[in-house]
Structure 1
Amino acid sequence: MSPAKPIVLVIDDEPGHRLMVRAVLEDVGWTVLEASDGAEGLKICQKRSNLDAVLLDIRLPDRDGIDLLQEMKAVHPHLPVIMLTAFGSVGSAVEAMKLGAFDYMTKPADNEELKAVLLKAREYLGLVRENQDLRRALGGEDGSPRLVGQSPAMHRVGELIRQVGPTEATVLILGESGTGKELVVKAIHAASLRHAGPLVEINCAALPGELLESELFGYVKGAFTGAVSNKPGRFQLAEKGTLFLDEVGDMPPALQAKLLRAVQERTVEPLGATQSVQVDVRIIAATHQNLPELVSSGVFREDLYFRLNVLEIKLPPLRDRIEDLPLLTRHLLHKLSLKNRKPFRDVAPGFLEALAVYRWPGNVRELENVLERALILARSDMLTRDLLPDHIREAGSSALFPAGALQKTTSHLPRGSNVPAEPTFDTAERHVLIAALEAQGGHRGKTAEALGISRRTLQYKLNKHGLTSR
C-alpha cells in the first residue's frame, strides 16, 4: 500500500495565489485544500485531523490571521502553521512566531522556498507523532510516564496530571521523601505542550545560598572572582521547557524574593548583569515540608507560596496505599531484574505479606532498595521472605500478632474451630483475621485497631484470603 499523500490547507483570499500554490505542491505530491476566508479555513481545520500543514494569510477579509492562528492551535496544538504576508512585516511575523507559528513567508511565495518549508513542517510533524507513539508505548494512554498503582489516591493523582499537563499552570507537588515526586514531574512535562523542550531540575536543599542563586539565575563574566565567562542559569537552560524546583521549602529566605519575581514576571537577572533576561519556562515545585506551617512561622514567603501553588498535587505515602504494593513490587522487580541482569520469576508466599505490614518510612524509594537487595541476594528466580531485612520481617510478625491479640481473638471463635498449634504464616493469619472480625461483629475499623494494623492493611489481607464477603 502506497503511503498517504501529505495534506496542506491554504487559507488565502487571493485566488491567483492559491492556484499557484496548488500547482507547485500537487506537482511534488501534496494534496491541497483551499479556503478563501478565516471562517471556512477554521471549519476545515476543525473537521480534518489529518492535516500536515497550513499556509495562512496574515490578512484575511473576515478576521486577522494572528487571531485565527491561535484558534487553530487550540484545535491542533502541534499543527505546523506557516504565515503568509504580502507586507513583509517583521513585527507581525515575530508576533506570529511567539504565538506558535511554524514559520513565515512573504507573498508571492518562492516555489523552492515553499517546498523546502513544507518539507521541514512535515518532518517536524513526523517527529511529533513518533514522540507521541513512543510516550504511549512507555507510559500511559496519554503518553505520560506510567504511575504504578490502582488505589483511589493514585487514580486522583493521575487524573490531576491529565488535567494540568496540557496547561501552563504552575504546579506544587507535596509528599514525603521517596513518594515519587520526580516521576509526577516527568509525567506532567510529558503530557504538556512543552514535552519537546528540556526538563531542567535543581535541588534547592543541596546547594548553599550563593551557589544556588548563581545556578538558578546564572552570572555574567566578571560578576565575581572566577567568573571568567557568562554562564546561563537553570531558568535559561529550561527555555521552552519545564523547570523543576525540588525541595523548594528549603530555599533560603534571601533568595525567595528573587524567585518570586522570576515566577511572576518570567524574567531573571543574572549575577552581575545590568538588565533582566526574559525566559519562557513552566515551573513545577516540590517539597516534603509543610509549607503553610513555614509561612505561618515566617520562614517561607506567603506570596511565593501562593504563586507556586496554582494547582497542588499531594502524593500519598506508601503506607496509605498498601493495596498498590503487589503491583508496585512486581513492577520494580522487573525493572531491577533488567538493571542487575538477575532473573526474576515470582515471589514466594509470605514475601508480600511481610512487605504489606511494614510502615515504609522511606516510601517507594525504600521499597526499591529493599527489593534490589533481595534480588541480588537471591540464589534462585523466586524471592523468599528470608531475603528481607530483619527489621521488615520482625515488623511483619509483631504487626500480625501484637501482644495478646491471638489469645484475645481466638477466644471468640465458635466451639470446635481449629487454630493449629504451630501454624504456617498464611494459615495463622487467616485464622486471626476470621477471629478478629467475628470478635468485633464484622466492624473493620475495630478489627484493624484490635490487630494493631491499618485499615488499608486489613483490607489487603481480607482480599488476599478471600474474606471480603464477611
Structure 2
Amino acid sequence: MDPTSPQTSTILLVDDEANALRVLSAILQEAGYACVTAQSVDEAISRLEGETPIDVLVTDLRMPGRSGLDLFEHVQTRALKIPVVFLTAYGTVDSAVRAVKEGAFYYFIKPPDYTLFREIIRRAAEHRRLTRHLAAVSRPAKGGGQALGMVGQSRGMREIFQLIQTVAESQATVLVQGESGTGKELIARAIHSQSPRHRGPFVGINCGALPPTLLESELFGHEKGAFTSAVGRRIGRFELADGGTLFLDEIGEMDMSLQVKLLRVIQEREFERVGSSSRIKVDFRLVAASNRDLKAEVEAGRFRADLFYRLNVIPMRIPPLRERLDDLPLLAFHFLERYAGLNKKEVAGIDSAALSRMMSYSWPGNVRELENAIERGVVLCSGPTLMEKDIPPDIAGGEKTPAGGAEAREVKPLSLLEKETIIDTLRRAFGNKSKAARMLGISRKVLYARLREYGIE
C-alpha cells in the first residue's frame, strides 16, 4: 500500500457533541481515512496512549471540563509530534493566533469548508508521515555516516560508508566518481579521518581549476628562478601531503602531458620540483575524484589507460541525490539546523508542502544544490517553519493550483471562510435559521450572533 494514501492514516476526532463526531467521521472515512473518536480530553488522552498510532488530532477548542488547548498542551509536552487541527464554534482571531503560534497545524471555525478540511487533513497526514520518516532515518546505524561526519541512511550510502570503513585501513588508491555536488571531497576526507594517517595532513587540489603549467607547479613545487615569476622556492602538494592523504579532485580535467608525470609519482613515490634535479621521496595516500566516467574517457582517448588503472584500485560511485531521495529529509533538516544557527534565526521546521516539492525535484546540482536551497530558505524565512514560498522557484515550481482550489481558499481569513459558510448554509436551508443552525451544528443563539457580527440579513 502506498504510504502516502489516506488508508494508512488514523485521525483522532475529539468533540463533546456526538453529532459533530458522526459528521466529521463520515467525511473523513469517505476520503479513505480511519477515524477514532473521543468526547472528552481524558478519553482523547487514553486514545493517544492506546495501541493504535494516531497520525492527526482534530479537536474542538471548548468542551466541558478540560479544553482542546489542554489536550494540545498534552501533545506538545510529551513531544508526540502529531499535527493538531482545532475546530470551534466559539473561534476568535486571538485564540486562532495563539493556537498557531504554539504549533497548531490549522484552525477552523465550525462548520469548516469541508473541501478545505479534507485538504488540510491530507497535508497534516503527509506532514506526520514525513516526520516519522525523518525520525527513522535519523537513528544512526552501526557504522553509519554519523561516525564519518556524513549524512545519509539510504541503502546506497550505507554501502559507501561500509566501503569507507573497509578501505580506510589500507594504503590503496581510491577513485571516487560521481556527479558534481554529490560530496566526493567529503568521501575523501572520511577515508582520511578513518585511516592510520588521520593525524597527518589532508591536502587537496582541484585539477580543473588551473591551467597545466600552474597545476604542475602546484603539485610538484618549484625552485627559485625555475621560471620568470618563481621568486622563491615553493613546496608543492605532493610534498605537503607527506605522511597524510593527497586528494586530486576532477582528475579527468588533467592535461595528458601532466598525466604522464603523475603516473610516475604514483609508481615511484618520488618526484622532482620544477627547476631541480634532486629527487624527493614522499609517502602519501592518494584519493582521486572525477565527475566524468574515466573509463569512457580512456576509450575516447582523453585519459591515459595506464593512469586510469593505477587510480582505479578501489572504485567508488557516489549516487546522485535523485537516486537516494530517502536521504533528502535528513539532509534538509541537517542543513536547516546549520544555517539557522549561522544566521541566528529560529527556524526549526520544514512545511510538508515544501518538503514534498523537494522530494519531487530532480536535483541536477545534487546535495550542493539542496544545501544552497535550504540556506536561501532560512535567510528568506519569516517564521519558525520553512515554507514552500521560501525555496527557489525552480524547485517550488510546477503546475499552480487553479483559482478557487484548495490553495486559493486556504489563504482566506478565517472570518471570511465562516461568513461564506453561513451564507451558503442559509441558502441551502431556504432562509430557515433554525434549520441552518442545525446543519451548522451550532445553537440558534450562536447563529444570530454571527449574523449580527457579519451583517448578514
State the TM-score bracket (shorter-chain normalisation): 0.5 to 0.7
Equivalents in 2 of 1:379, 1:264: separation in Å?
A: 57
Q: Specify the alignment match of 1:344 in structure 2.
A: 347
Partner of 1:273: 276
Amino acid at match of 1:375: V
Q: Distance in 1 between matches of 2:338 and 2:349?
A: 13
Find the counterpart in structure 1 of residue 14 from structure 2. none
Higher relative contact order (CA 8 A, sep 6+): 2
Contiguous gaps of at least 5 residues in structure 2: 1-139, 409-457
- Separation in structure 2 between the aligned mates of residue 199 and residue 144 of structure 1, nearest angstrom: 18
Aligned to 1:416: none
Quick check: 1:231 aligned with 2:238? no
Partner AA of 1:344 in structure 2: V
Residues 26-425 of structure 1 aligned to structure 2 (within 5 Å): 144-395=147-398, 397=399, 422-423=405-406
Distance across 1 between alignment mates of 2:187 and 2:278: 35
The change in CA–CA distance for 1:192 and 1:381 in structure 2 (over 3 A counts) is same
Aligned mates of 1:326, 1:359 — CA distance in 2: 14
CA contact (8 A) 1:144 1:186 kept: no
Q: 2: distance between equivalents of 1:237 and 1:349?
A: 48
Q: Deviations over 1:55-91 (max 9, x none)?
A: xxxxxxxxxxxxxxxxxxxxxxxxxxxxxxxxxxxxx
CA deviation map 1:14-67 (0-9, x unaligned) = xxxxxxxxxxxxxxxxxxxxxxxxxxxxxxxxxxxxxxxxxxxxxxxxxxxxxx
SS at the partner of 1:350?
helix
Distance 2:204 2:144 in 1: 25
**Could you give the per-residue CA deviations for residues 429-448 of structure 1, whole angstroms, max 9, x where no partner exists?**
xxxxxxxxxxxxxxxxxxxx
| Kept in 1: contact 2:350–2:387 (CA 8 A) | yes
Note the C-alpha offset of 1:245: 0.2
Once residues 339 and 369 of structure 1 are traced to their aligned partners in structure 2, the CA distance between those partners, rounded to angstroms, is 14
Contact map agreement 2:270 2:281 (CA 8 A) in 1:
yes
| Unaligned 5+ runs, structure 1 | 1-136, 402-420, 426-470
Letter in 2 for 1:394: G
Shift of the alpha carbon at 1:147?
Answer: 2.1
Q: Residue 340 of structure 1: CA displacement?
A: 1.7
Shift of 1:349: 2.3
1:351 Cα shift?
A: 1.1
When residues 381 and 256 of structure 1 are mapped into structure 2, their CA distance, relative to the original with a 3 A threshold, is: same
Distance 1:282 1:275 in 2: 22
DSSP 3-state at the match of 2:243: coil
How far residue 170 of structure 1 moved from its aligned partner, in angstroms, is 0.5
Q: TM-score, normalised by structure 2?
A: 0.56
CA offsets 1:333-385 (integer angstroms, 9 cap, x no match): 11111222222211122010010001000000000111111100011121111
Letter in 1 for 2:193: A
Shift of 1:140: 6.4
8 Å CA contact retained: 1:172, 1:309: yes
Cα contact 1:173–1:181 (8 A) shared by 2 = yes
Distance (Å, rounded) in 2 between the aligned partners of 1:221 and 1:279: 21
Provide the rounded CA distance (Å) in 1 between the counterparts of 2:351 and 2:293.
39
Q: Which amino acid aligns with 2:333?
A: R
Alpha carbons of structure 1 residues 388 and 161: separation in structure 2 relative to 1, 3 Å:
same
1:189-243 CA-to-partner distances (Å, cap 9, x unmatched) read: 0000000000001110000000000100011122112323221110000110000
Instruction: Return the alpha-carbon distance in structure 2 between the equivalents of residues 142 and 391 of structure 1.
Output: 30
The one-letter code of the counterpart of 2:250 is E
Partner of 1:450: none
Instruction: Provide the rounded CA distance (Å) in 2 between the counterparts of 1:197 and 1:143.
Output: 22
Q: Secondary structure at the match of 2:204?
A: strand
Contact map agreement 2:150 2:186 (CA 8 A) in 1:
yes
Is the Cα–Cα contact under 8 Å of residues 198 and 238 in structure 1 kept in the other structure? yes
What amino acid is the match of 1:246?
D
Query: Does the 8 Å contact 1:201/1:243 carry over to 2?
Result: yes
Deviations 1:244-299 (A, max 9, x none): 00000000011000000011111111111112210011110000011111101111
Give the TM-score of the pair, scaled to structure 1. Answer: 0.54
Deviation at 1:142, TM superposition (A): 9.3
Question: C-alpha separation between the residues in 1 aligned to 2:396 and 2:256?
Answer: 44
Amino acid at match of 2:317: K
Instruction: Name the CA shift for 1:140/1:424 in 2 (closer, same or farther; >3 Å).
Output: farther
Whole-angstrom distance in 2 between the partners of 1:352 and 1:143: 23
Q: Distance in 2 between matches of 1:142 and 1:360?
A: 21
CA distances 1:376-395 after superposition (whole Å, capped 9, x unpaired): 00111211111122221224
How big is the shift at 1:143? 8.2
Q: Distance in 2 between matches of 1:394 and 1:230?
A: 54
Alignment size in residue pairs: 268
